[in-house]
Copies of this chain bind each other. A is one copy, B any other.
Amino acid sequence: MQADQTIRALGALAQEHRLAAFRLLVQAGPEGLPAGALAEALGVPPSSMSFHLAQLSHAGLVSQHRQSRSIIYAAHFGAMNDLLAYLTENCCAGASCAAAAPCNDERIAS
């Protein structure tokens, strides 16, 4: 993962409503949730939710598909893995972070 995309992903998650929405989507699993359900759960108007979901989508953190009148959003677990991998390799090197990241990351990666 490039630094540029990492920044997009971090920025997408660095917002109250979007972090909450993403967590709900993670909990929902591959089934995902319709935009309206997320808006209602978070108590934000549909247009605002749409804006935030577009951000998450642009960052590659969620995927979407229409099902009848609803548009279903689902967490993109691969992107989350990539983000965690980047942070673990580039921002946790050398020292103590291995504790929290059970994976054996013995390289520095620039």
A binding-site residues for B, Cβ under 8 Å: 3, 6-7, 10-11, 13-16, 19-20, 22-23, 26-27, 29-30, 75-78, 80-85, 87-88, 90-105, 107-110
Q: Which of A82, A85, A101 has the most CB of B within 10 A?
A: A101
User: With the chains together, A110 CA to B81 CA distance in Å?
Assistant: 10
Main secondary structure on A side of the interface with B: helix
Copy number in the complex reads 2
User: With the chains together, A94 CA to B26 CA distance in Å?
Assistant: 7
User: With the chains together, A109 CA to B74 CA distance in Å?
Assistant: 12
User: With the chains together, A20 CA to B99 CA distance in Å?
Assistant: 18
Contact assessment for A76 and B110 in the assembled complex, using a CB-CB cutoff below 8 Å = yes
Contact assessment for A78 and B108 in the assembled complex, using a CB-CB cutoff below 8 Å = yes
Contact assessment for B10 and A91 in the assembled complex, using a CB-CB cutoff below 8 Å = no
User: With the chains together, A63 CA to B107 CA distance in Å?
Assistant: 17
